[in-house]
Amino acid sequence: MAYETIIVENEDDVALIRLNRPEALNALNSTLITELADALSEADNNDKVRCIVITGSEKAFAAGADIKEMAEKSFVDVYNEDLFGAQVQVIERIRKPIIAAVSGYALGGGCELAMICDFIIAAENAKFGQPEVNLGVVAGIGGTQRLTRIIGKSKAMDMHLTGRFMDAAEAERSGLVSRIVPTAKLIPEAMAAARKIAEKSQITVRTIKEAVNRSYETTLSEGIRFERRAFHSLFGTEDQKEGMAAFLEKREPQFRDR
Ligand SMILES: CC(C)(O)CC(=O)SCCNC(=O)CCNC(=O)[C@H](O)C(C)(C)COP(=O)(O)OP(=O)(O)OC[C@H]1O[C@@H](n2cnc3c(N)ncnc32)[C@H](O)[C@@H]1OP(=O)(O)O
């Protein structure tokens, strides 16, 4: 499908989605967020795609929601159109793993989009922030909830209340990003991680995603019970037999997603 504000490249088993509004530092306008949700759904439904990478440009992953588009809207406008609601729900429900490859600014909705992804690989030049306070609003795509769970209350309050930016090193120390790579190597490193995931059993990968995400939604004991059931259930798959046999036979597993 042809898109106006994103570019989708399918390489082997991985869909690489590039946000592409360089003139506005990939600010999330209604076209971009809708096209992103559509492209992610398409990738989720495409049997050839086993992992997804979302990235932006070197200067900006995304500088947040499009302020020019939002500035004149009233409460009634954003309430009635449920600004960001439908598209974000689609993105949150994608079952395949999504890596955010972040270079440059990931601010406001850009930081929130990266946090919806399953993990973040950051370039050395990455900067994260929730500067909505400077615009007289609060984050609206989960920033107050996800950032707090990821980096803790004190740092999350600092980021949201002051609107300051966090560099890649602080983001890694805080657990917001899984690793930092040289800026020029961001896409190759993210694609290599995605290809590694794509080699695994997709039933196992989806179960892992579901179980880790469950930890945000439930109590520790419920989460552990869910994990144990998930672990037991995978013994009903051919891929568990193959994975364990391959280890014992000292060979690489050939998973069939069954
Ligand atoms: C999703 C919600 C609900 O959580 C809410 C939000 O996300 S609100 C938005 C939060 N984001 C911000 O407040 C960041 C706004 N941008 C900046 O502070 C700066 O642009 C910068 C620090 C990221 C980069 O600064 P600089 O290098 O000086 O570049 P600029 O000249 O400012 O920007 C270039 C160009 O891009 C336009 N731009 C940047 N960000 C946005 C945006 N969020 N919405 C719309 N347009 C944006 C900027 O206006 C410039 O375009 P021109 O004015 O030159 O046409």
Global pTM exceeds 0.95 = yes
pLDDT tens digit sequence for 213-223: 999 999 999 99
Atom of ligand 1 nearest to the CA of 165: 22
Q: Which residues form ligand 1's pocket by a CB distance below 6 Å?
A: 24-25, 27, 63-68, 105, 107-109, 112, 131-132, 135, 139-141, 143
Query: Please, are residues 17 and 52 in contact by the beta-carbon 8 Å criterion?
Result: yes
Interface predicted TM-score (ipTM): 0.98
Q: What is the mean pLDDT of residues 241-248?
A: 98
pLDDT tens digit sequence for 113-153: 999 999 999 999 999 999 999 999 999 999 999 999 999 99
Distance 221 CA to ligand 1 centre (A): 43
Is a pLDDT exceeding 90 seen at residue 227?
yes
Q: How far apart are CA 231 and CA 89, in angstroms?
A: 27
**pLDDT attached to residue 12:** 86
Catalytic-labelled residue, pool 132, 139, 168, 189: 132
Q: How far apart are CA 100 and CA 128, in angstroms?
A: 13
**CA angle centred on 102, ends 99 and 104, rounded to 5°:** 175
**CA angle centred on 73, ends 59 and 139, rounded to 5°:** 50
pLDDT tens digit sequence for 163-220: 999 999 999 999 999 999 999 999 999 999 999 999 999 999 999 999 999 999 999 9
